[in-house]
Structure 1
Amino acid sequence: MSDESGVALKSATGRGIVLAAVCGSSLAFLDGTVVNVALPHIGDTFDSNMDSLQWVVNGYTLMLAALVLTAGALGDHYGRRKVFIIGVVWFGLASALCGMAPNVTTLLTARVLQGIGAGLLTPGSLAIIQSTIRKQDRARAIGAWSGLGGVFTAAGPFIGGWLVDGPGWPWVFYINIPVVVLCLVATLKFVPESRDPAANGRFDLVGSGLGMIGLGGITFALVQSGARAASLTAAVIGVAAFVAFVVVERRRRAPMLPPAMFANRQFSAINAVTFGIYAGLSGVLFFLVMQLQVVSHYSAFAAGITMLPFTILMLLFSSRAGAVAERLGPRLPLTLGPALSAVGVLLLLTVGPHAPYLTHVLPGVLIIGIGMTITVAPLTAGVLAAADSSHAGVASGINNAVARAASLLAVAALPLAAGITGRAYQDPAAFDSGFRIAVFICAALFAASALTSVLLVRNPAKTAPEPTQPACRTQCAVGAPQLDPGLEPAPATNQ
């Protein structure tokens, strides 16, 4: 396959492919944060305790984390476009059910269904770019994808606050419907079908099930603070499932989580950095918007709009950060970005009763935004550069699963660690005390990611171009070797 194969990013089809991928991933990313700002209002509507509010977030994240690997493999075999479309439609239907939920039990069930849809579409969104955009344009396409995905993640609280104070919290789910329609139109019109020619059709359903039981058991144990016997039982089941998961994955011919991929130190290190970053970010997004409403007495809209500078920074500079990281390598941005974010999180300690936005909230949000802008695109490009390009679905699935598992465990564990249980979210003094503990933990998670990058992430050695050929853009990160033609994805075919 020649260097010119694939779709040019600047073409109408190339832009349409990125639009479809961004819309799809944004559905999953946005819904992971847009709900946070609505939690106090959902709790008031259904007279729920903190455990139920955590499950509104974690029921969704659990299914997303559990299915994203299997969905990547399904896309590689049956067609990334096909599985992506199924996930988008499923997600849209589940979103409508969430908005119509008459009680908290129905809402939690609908959130689980929504997580299934997100799990199906998320790995396909990045794998579609990786397998259809020509190699010299992929770094920029991935930068646009990751930057805009980060924008939607950060925009979630802002959009959620506007909707909660306006038409009401059900609209944080109904807002997904027009995005679903746009995504389907762009996918059907622009996205060609692509598959992994080496996919053999065998799927690790046992591994997927054990992973879901493990994550679910640990999450239940952390969230159900008032039922000690049930929590202990769930913890034992979760740990046993994880042990069985490791044993099964090491023995299967076609594992969901190929152990060989983690033999690559760069791939393992960047995924470790991913875990710390997304655990810290999820914790901050979960607690900050609630702190501002419960303790600082902001409206839902005012609490959500506090993250607008974060959104603007991600929108304007993520793609440029990806281009800089392509020249410098991933180590510096994956060290500097999390370190800055840790500083920004600590600045949020000033957020208390009647905290003025400009002096007590904005500085921390700006520093976190700068740190995440430096981090997100190099993180995504780096993990893909460390893996074989023909396994784009599996590689992106693993990285997404790590990020979602980090979010899941952070939202499950942090309220317990911070002492925010029961109806503490309705007690400003109790919530304020817990918020400060949570801030220190989130800052520590970012700092641990920076340290991991310093110690373990390396910049790939630069390879000189052939003397008779012009220099080519490298794959995702500077110094990543040019892809062997035999390892290129199969040519995309329209369906």
Structure 2
Amino acid sequence: MSFAQVHLKTARGRWILAATVLGSGLTMLDSTVVNVALPFLGRDLKTDMSGLQWSVNAYTLTLAGLILLGGGLGDRYGRRKIFLIGTVWFALASLMCGLATNIEVLIAARALQGVGGALLTPGSLAIIQASFCRDDRPRAVGAWSGLGGVASAIGPLVGGWLVQGPGWRWAFLINLPFAALVVLVTLRHVPETRDEQSTGKFDVAGSALAALALAGVTYGLIDLGTPLPLIAGIVLGVAFVALEIRRSPDALVPVGLFKNHVFTAVNVVTLIMYGAMGVAFFLLGLQLQVVSQFGPIAAGSALLPVTLLMMVLSAPAGELAKRIGPRWPMTLGILVAGLGFLWMASIGEGSNYWLQVLPAVSLFGLGLSAAVAPLTATVLATADERYAGTASGINNAVARTGSLLLVAALPPMVGLVGTAFDQPAVFDVGYRLAMLISAGLMGVSALITFLTIRTNVLRDPQN
């Protein structure tokens, strides 16, 4: 049996899906569980808002800068092999995070975590694309999105429980047993797949330029008083684009993929949408604890409706996109998520969970559930199958880059600097403005989706 013909309803199909969900869920869980721990690690390690931003962005930076290389390594040397290496790397870096004695060590460990994430994240989606038969892929991607979204949403709840119980360090140490489970399931059940046509040298220079460009821009946005890193990052970004064009078709980012205008458009949508979401997840947990005076567990529990909605609706959303096309599910889903952000802007001092927090996050979760699976399926459908790892890597890098840049830029722009996380009145004003801006960005994403994504793209992706 060809591994490209595995069916989702078979035992092997379910095990493959379980392994990929567990692996990608590991990085999603970590990305969100940390947000609830931010006030506590900030006080314990004696840092300020910029330290909190870097504790989030150091991870996102290396993940976004190297995820394309991770996808290419999987295509060349075996997606299962690179997926496993990334999982073990991620676990060891998580241990280092849990043992950090100061903010500098934590930031360095978070950067190493991102390297592990860059190896395992594109592999999870590429394994699905390369293993399942074409008719089952949209539903498999929908299930992957929904169950992976559960990890993202449940992360703050787990983080709250750990912070309020054994302490913030366990927000990282909890990754170790999950990583062991991922390794066990993958070794036992996941087939190896690779791109047999992959040749030539890896674009190491492109990887280095991408990471350095993102580092410069991120540093410059967090510290607006120091323009030199921002300028250097922009220059390096231009150099990266020029190098990729010159190296095509052996570039880190094959420019030929962007000849499909739908692939380009959906990645622009991803950049803006995930940028807004990154800001919301970064600030909401802080707002609930600093201003609304929720405890860590209560603040984490606030996002449970997103968990339930993603679990129930993402797979059907993937199936719906297969039948009617991704244009309307994506457009309406992004708009509804943006309305959720508008409602979240009203959360402040004395907010009631049932009247303000629950409706706002439920509306956001409803929109996210409708949009994510069709978006992911569209990215993969519009790329040649031999570029499965590269295409998923590009989309993941774009998503992480959007979050990285907005989390770096928006808090200082709205006055969230210095010790703002210990000043409720200051934090409240900045939070509300940031959420309004995020809602506006979701509106822009929905408009681009409506104007550029064809209804028949999953049936006829190349025309």
- Tell whether the structures are fold-level matches, with TM greater than 0.5: yes
Q: Write the distance in 1 (CA, Å) between the matches of 2:419 and 2:288.
A: 17
Deviation string for 1:298-347 (max 9, x for gaps)?
Answer: 00110110000111000111101110111110110111011111111101
Residues 438-473 of structure 1, C-alpha deviations (whole Å, 9 max, x = no match): 011110111111000111111236xxxxxxxxxxxx
Counterpart for residue 86 of structure 1: 85
Q: CA deviation at 1:224?
A: 2.3
1:127-142 alignment runs, 5 A limit: 127-142=126-141
Q: Give the AA of the match of 1:423.
A: T
Alignment of 1:16 with 2:15, yes or no, is yes
Give yes or no for contact 1:154–1:310 (8 Å, CA) kept in 2: yes
Q: How far is 1:11 from its partner?
A: 1.9
* Whole-angstrom distance in 2 between the partners of 1:329 and 1:181: 38
CA distance in 2, matches of 1:192, 1:15: 13
Q: Distance in 2 between matches of 1:412 and 1:235?
A: 12
2:348 alignment partner in structure 1: 352
Between 1:86-95 and 1:126-135, the stretch displaced more is: 126-135
Aligned pair 1:406/2:405, yes or no? no
TM-aligned CA deviation for residue 202 of structure 1: 1.5
Name 2:339's counterpart in structure 1: 343
**Runs of 4 or more above 3 Å deviation:** 478-482
Question: How far, CA to CA, are the matches of 1:329 and 1:19 in structure 2?
Answer: 26
Q: Determine the C-alpha separation between the residues in 2 that align with 1:223 and 1:233.
A: 12
Output the amino acid matched with 1:432.
Answer: D
User: Which among 418, 421, 431 is matched to residue 417 of structure 2?
Assistant: 421
Aligned to 1:487: none
Deviation at 1:169, TM superposition (A): 0.5
Equivalent residue, structure 1, for 2:326: 330
Cα shift at 1:146: 1.1
Query: 1:37-186 counterparts in 2 under 5 A?
Result: 37-186=36-185
**Counterpart contact for 2:345–2:433, Cα < 8 Å:** no
Structure 2's unaligned 5+ residue stretches are none
Q: Work out whether residues 69 and 252 of structure 2, in 8 Å CA contact, stay in contact via their aligned partners in 1.
A: yes
Partner of 1:377: 373
Contact 1:325/1:478 (8 A) holds in 2: no
Provide, for residues 153-188 of structure 1, a one-character-per-residue CA deviation record: whole Å limited to 9, x for no partner.
121111111111111101111111111011001100
Measured in 1, the distance between the counterparts of 2:272 and 2:154 equals 21
Identity across matched positions, percent: 50
Contact 1:63 1:115 in 2 (8 A): yes
Once the two structures are superposed, residues 363-388 of structure 1 have per-residue CA deviations (whole angstroms, 9 ceiling, x without a partner) of 11111000000001001001111111
Distance in 2 (CA, whole Å) between partners of 1:410 and 1:156 is 21
Work out whether 1:245 is the aligned partner of 2:240.
Answer: yes
Cα distance between partner residues in 2 of 1:93 and 1:342: 37
Alignment root-mean-square deviation, CA: 1.5
**How far apart in 2 are the matches of 1:341 and 1:128?**
29
Asked if the contact 2:346/2:432 (under 8 Å) is kept, the reply is no
Determine if contact 2:4/2:130 at 8 Å carries over to the other structure.
Answer: no
TM-score by length of 2: 0.97
**Aligned pairs, how many?**
462
User: Which structure's CA Rg is the greater one?
Assistant: 1
- Residue 470 (structure 1) aligns with: none
Could you tell me which runs of 5 or more consecutive residues in structure 1 were left unpaired when the two chains were aligned.
462-476, 483-495
TM normalised by structure 1 equals 0.91
For 1:76 and 1:326, how far apart are their aligned partners in 2?
26
Determine helix, strand or coil for the equivalent of 1:350.
coil
Tell me the equivalent position of 1:444. 440
Residue pair 1:327, 1:478 contacting (<8 A) in 2 also: no
Residue 20 of structure 1: how far off its partner (Å): 0.8
The residue type equivalent to 1:410 in the other structure is L
Aligned residue for 1:489? Answer: none
Q: Distance in 2 between matches of 1:104 and 1:232?
A: 24
